Structure formats: structure tokens, C-alpha cells
């Protein structure tokens, strides 16, 4: 029987309990993410706006990225790429960093005719202490002279710009599995298959290697993230690509795959049923693990390239207002990232671009959107805090079963070397809306009572009775909120201090609980999350 009482205007429900003392029974490499696990993919055409240039660097973006680096202990890694990397041609005499022409019939959100000049590479100078990958054009470079010349001319610029310790990895081509069927216009014939892709990729990467050897030999042989496929359902398949010899030169350092839970215009997509749903996320991520395992045997295979999401977010086609830009999507982001880490993904690059609905922040003012920090950024902060200092003190992530309720999830972080419980994160994804139609704009005149659910976890005897446990909450007025979001009482809004952390005194912070009779218990209002830390080290 579930006991329900009314406390201070909020329904209190005993929701779930779990034994995490023996979860995982042994901590292994499968659940240990790489440093900088919380990372970003920035649309190629949007990068100059996100980063700025030598004259006007984007300080707002830098502040937000540094916040994450300060919490994680390692800065996010920045992948500069996406669809527009495969439209970009180089013009050495062009003064502007990027000239783009938007064709709404192909995409209303980004240009599909693009030229870049040498000034484009200034954007890599504005965020000190960060590492980048630069997306090279395979879409137009594999079979067209202008695209090939772009490759030849831009590789030396990448060397010059990123050769001083700023190079993360190389990427040649974005989502080549879509080249023959892309909704934005096919750049290959219908006969495009794994063998033809591998031939062109190997041909191009040989040229990249030659240009690197000529321009920046100190960088050594290029290592790549690949194959960067869009979806497992597309015509080209990852296992067959590998069988066709993609890594014959042993130069793929990161196995990169892309993922979106669903589409912005897909029928039946809802916040509660699609994003705030553990089962939907689990099924989506598990399919990628199965594909990877069919090639390498296991995500724990130390001889295989680490598995990463090189590009991912909620809903493809840049997200949908009222879904991808809400607090509920931030809760989805926590669940997606931590579940991915628990099954073997080593790093996750959340994709974003100017005016995109699922972005973590809008970097500049435009006629479509104002500069500001978005809901999903706060979810990334919670994930960063869960995985803090993973470069110096790695943790193993485990998903904690909470029964059959698909609107709840919990994760444990155990120190890799000692197997001791470090942190626990609980997500209550039951929807609670306070605005008309869940659009985040017009308040509901008389919102329903918000339910609070109590979660208990058996942590003894690993954690002693009387142990003080720090509680950091991710909160907003509801799952449909697009403003008023805090993590542990901190705001990172542009309006307050250009994205730097600001403590809000009207939000509870410094909360603690205590282990009693081997149990730690926390109550979460619907549409919220809480991070419990069992060590003195806090972020």
C-alpha cells in the first residue's frame, strides 16, 4: 500500500526504495567515463557566434563552459561540426569568417550554401584551456574538386590554429550514412554504400595525413572520431563499415555515433511520454551499445576505441518549442547522460546551434531568440557535479533499478579504486505543469498540488549511520518551465552576471540529510532531481 498525506500544500508519497550496497558488486571499466564527460558539439555554421573572434570574444559562452570545467575538474571538449561542416567551402580571399545562405526549403535553421575564410579560425582562440575537433568536409570533398581543395587548404589552418595543444581529434565528414538520402539534399547517388564511403574516407584521410606531415609534423599521425553516423536505421550500418576496412590504418581513436530520441515533427512526441521517460531513453541508448558490441564484443574492450556520442540531443531538426527548451528536457538530459555513462559511453557531446530549440544557451541576440542560458544547461551542471574530478579520481556509474515506474531513475557513482559509494543522483520525471498547454509562458490560474515522492536507498554498512549527506537540488516551477531554474541554489543566467554563478537567496541551499539504520532517504517534488554526496569533497 502507498501512503499519501498532504504536507504544506504538497502531496507526499513513499515512491521507491532500493538496495545499492552491492550495486555494482564490482566496479569495472564499463562504467568509468572519460574526463570531460559533459562536452558539446557546436554547429559548424554557428561556431563564430558561439565563440566570437579575436576582436570580440564571446565571454558569455566562455563563462558557461568554465563553470562546467570548474565543477568537473576538466573542461568540456568542443566538437565543431554538424550538417553544415559538409556544406562549407574555403575561400582564402574572403574577409568574413563565414558567409551562409539559408534556403528554407532545405533548412530554415542553418545555411546550406557556405563559404568560410581564414578569419573563421580566429574563433578557436577565444576560449583558453579548451580542446577542439574541426569538422572537415567529406560531403562535398569526397567527390568534388572544390570540396577537395577545401580539404587541402584548411588542414594547414587547423594545424596552425590547434597545433599548440588545442587539438582534441579530427573528424572527416558528418553523418555520411545520410549522404544518399538526406532531407536537405542528397550529395551521393542512391548506390552510396559502406564500401564507397570507406573508399572515400580512406582517400581523404590519406590526404589529411600528408598535409599534416607537411604543415605540422609535430602533431603526429591524425587520429579521428568516426564514423559519426546519424542513426542505426539509416542505409549504411556501422558494423558493415568496420568490416569494409574503415579502421584499416588504425587511426580511429574514438568510435563516434549520433543519437536523437525522436524528431521535432514526429507524431505522438510528448514531454512526458518521450523525453521524461526512462524506458524510451534506455531503449534508444541500448541500441547503440548493441551495434558497438557487435563490432568489438563489449564496451569494456580496452583495445577498442572508446564509445562516445559525438553528437546528440533531444529531438532532431533542432528541437521543438515547449519540449526541447523546457525544464523537463533538462531532466531528460541528466537521465540520458548518466544512463549512457552507466552502459559504457565514455563522453557525450550535446549538440547546439544558434536559435536551436534544444540548445544549452543562445550565444547572441538574433531576430529569433535573445541571448540567454537555457534549461538544458542546468541539467549539464548536475551531470558535471555527479562526475566531478573523474580525471583524477574516476568513478564507475551504475543505474539503480527503481521498479517499473518509467518516470523515475537513479544512478550511483562508486570510486573506481576503492569501490566506495561517492554519490547518488535521483530523478523524479513525473510531469508537473504550471503553464497553459505546457508552453512555459502563460501561468495556470490554479495549478494542481505538486506531489513529493520519497526515495530510500540502503547504503549501509558501506556508509556508516550518522553520516551527513549533502543534498544539491535541480529545481524549477515545473517540467514546462523555461526560466527560474536553479542547481543547488545557483543561477547561471546571462542577465545576472553574464553566465557566472550567482547564489540566489530565495532558493534553499546547503541542505543535508543523514544515514539512519543503513538508509538514506530523500524527498523529491515531481519534476525535479537531487544529487546526494557521501564524501566531504563538494563542488
Question: Which one of 175, 194, 238, 408 is the catalytic residue?
Answer: 194
For residues 495 and 370, give the distance between their C-alpha atoms in angstroms, rounded to a whole number.
11
Please, which residues have CB within 8 angstroms of residue 334's CB and are 6 or more apart in sequence? 379, 382, 383, 425, 427, 474, 529
Q: What is the signed CA dihedral for 326, 330, 336, 341, rounded to 10 degrees? A: 160
Task: Tell me which DSSP letter residue 91 carries.
Answer: -
Closest CA to 353 of 50, 20, 26: 50
- C-alpha count within 13 angstroms, C-beta hemisphere, residue 388: 20
> If residue 256 lies in a helix (H) or strand (E), which one and from where to where?
strand 252-263
> In the numeric block, which cell numbers belong to residue 477?
516551477
Please, which residues have CB within 8 angstroms of residue 270's CB and are 6 or more apart in sequence? 323
Residue 94 to residues 2, 114, 125, 141: CA-CA distances in angstroms?
Answer: 68, 12, 19, 19
What is the bridge-based pairing of β-strands 252-263 and 224-229?
parallel
CA angle centred on 345, ends 533 and 170, rounded to 5°: 120
Residue 473 to residues 408, 412, 522: CA-CA distances in angstroms?
Answer: 15, 16, 11
Hey, is 384 helix, strand or coil?
A: helix
Q: How far apart are the first and last CA of the chain?
A: 38
Looking at the DSSP assignment, which residues form a beta bridge with residue 262? 315
For residues 382 and 525, give the distance between their C-alpha atoms in angstroms, rounded to a whole number.
17
Task: Tell me which DSSP letter residue 33 carries.
Answer: P
Closest CA to 65 of 489, 473, 381, 393: 381
CA angle centred on 493, ends 488 and 499, rounded to 5°: 95
Question: Which one of 122, 175, 238, 311 is the catalytic residue?
Answer: 311
Tell me if 318 sits within 8 A of 358, measured CB to CB: yes
Query: Among this protein's residues, is 311 annotated catalytic?
Result: yes
Hey, is 481 helix, strand or coil?
A: coil
Annotate 236-267 with b (16+ C-beta within 10 A) or e (fewer). Answer: bbbeebbebebbeeebbbbbbbbbbbbebeee
Query: Known catalytic residues?
Result: 194, 311
Amino acid at each position: 500500500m502507498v501512503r499519501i498525506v498532504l504536507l504544506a500544500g504538497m502531496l507526499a508519497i513513499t515512491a521507491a526504495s532500493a538496495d545499492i550496497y552491492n550495486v555494482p558488486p564490482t566496479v569495472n571499466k564499463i562504467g568509468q567515463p572519460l574526463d570531460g564527460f559533459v562536452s558539446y558539439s557546436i554547429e559548424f555554421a554557428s561556431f563564430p557566434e558561439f565563440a566570437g573572434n579575436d576582436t570580440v570574444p564571446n565571454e558569455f559562452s566562455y563563462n558557461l563552459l568554465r563553470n562546467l570545467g570548474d565543477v568537473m575538474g576538466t573542461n568540456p571538449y568542443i566538437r565543431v561540426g554538424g550538417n553544415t561542416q559538409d556544406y562549407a567551402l574555403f575561400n582564402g580571399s574572403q574577409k568574413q569568417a563565414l558567409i551562409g545562405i539559408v534556403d528554407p526549403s532545405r533548412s530554415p535553421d542553418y545555411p546550406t550554401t557556405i563559404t568560410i575564410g581564414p578569419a573563421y579560425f580566429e574563433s578557436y582562440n577565444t576560449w583558453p584551456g579548451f580542446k577542439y575537433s574541426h569538422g572537415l568536409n567529406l560531403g562535398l570533398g569526397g567527390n568534388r574538386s572544390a570540396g577537395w581543395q577545401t580539404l587541402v587548404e584548411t588542414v594547414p589552418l587547423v594545424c596552425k590554429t590547434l597545433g599548440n595543444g588545442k587539438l582534441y581529434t579530427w573528424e572527416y565528414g558528418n553523418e555520411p550514412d545520410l549522404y544518399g538520402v538526406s532531407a536537405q539534399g542528397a550529395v551521393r547517388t542512391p548506390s552510396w554504400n559502406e564500401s564507397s564511403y570507406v573508399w572515400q574516407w580512406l582517400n581523404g584521410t590519406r590526404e589529411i595525413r600528408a598535409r599534416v606531415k607537411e604543415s605540422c609534423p609535430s602533431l603526429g599521425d591524425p587520429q579521428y572520431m568516426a564514423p559519426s553516423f546519424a542513426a542505426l536505421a539509416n542505409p549504411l550500418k556501422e558494423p558493415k563499415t568496420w568490416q569494409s576496412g574503415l579502421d584499416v590504418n588504425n587511426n580511429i581513436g574514438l568510435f563516434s555515433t549520433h543519437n536523437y530520441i525522436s524528431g521535432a515533427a514526429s507524431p505522438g512526441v510528448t514531454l512526458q511520454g518521450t523525453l521524461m521517460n526512462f524506458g524510451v531513453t534506455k531503449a534508444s541508448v541500448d541500441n547503440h551499445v548493441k551495434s558497438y558490441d557487435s563490432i568489438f564484443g563489449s564496451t569494456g574492450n580496452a583495445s577498442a576505441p572508446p564509445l562516445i556520442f559525438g553528437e546528440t540531443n533531444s529531438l532532431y531538426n533542432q528541437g521543438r518549442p515547449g519540449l526541447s527548451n523546457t525544464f523537463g528536457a533538462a531532466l531528460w538530459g541528466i537521465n540520458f547522460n548518466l544512463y549512457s555513462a552507466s552502459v559504457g559511453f565514455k563522453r557525450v557531446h550535446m549538440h547546439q546551434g544558434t536559435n536551436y530549440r534544444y540548445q544549452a544557451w543562445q550565444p547572441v541576440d538574433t531576430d529569433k531568440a535573445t541571448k540567454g542560458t537555457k534549461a538544458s544547461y542546468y541539467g549539464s551542471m548536475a551531470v558535471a557535479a555527479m562526475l566531478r574530478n573523474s580525471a583524477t579520481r574516476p568513478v564507475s556509474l551504475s543505474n539503480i533499478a527503481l521498479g517499473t515506474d518509467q518516470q523515475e531513475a537513479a544512478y550511483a557513482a562508486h570510486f573506481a579504486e576503492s569501490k566506495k559509494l561517492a554519490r547518488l543522483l535521483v530523478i523524479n520525471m513525473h510531469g508537473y505543469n504550471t503553464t497553459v498547454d505546457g508552453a512555459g509562458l502563460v501561468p495556470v490560474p490554479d495549478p494542481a498540488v505538486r506531489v513529493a515522492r520519497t526515495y530510500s536507498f540502503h547504503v549501509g554498512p558501506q556508509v556508516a549511520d550518522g553520516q551527513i549527506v549533502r543534498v544539491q537540488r535541480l529545481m524549477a516551477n515545473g517540467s514546462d518551465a523555461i526560466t527560474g531554474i536553479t542547481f543547488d541554489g545557483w543561477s547561471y543566467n546571462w542577465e545576472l552576471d553574464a553566465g557566472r554563478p550567482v547564489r540566489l537567496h530565495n532558493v534553499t541551499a546547503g541542505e543535508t540529510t543523514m544515514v539512519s539504520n543503513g538508509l538514506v532517504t530523500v524527498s523529491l517534488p515531481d519534476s525535479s532531481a537531487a544529487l546526494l554526496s557521501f564524501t566531504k569533497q563538494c563542488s
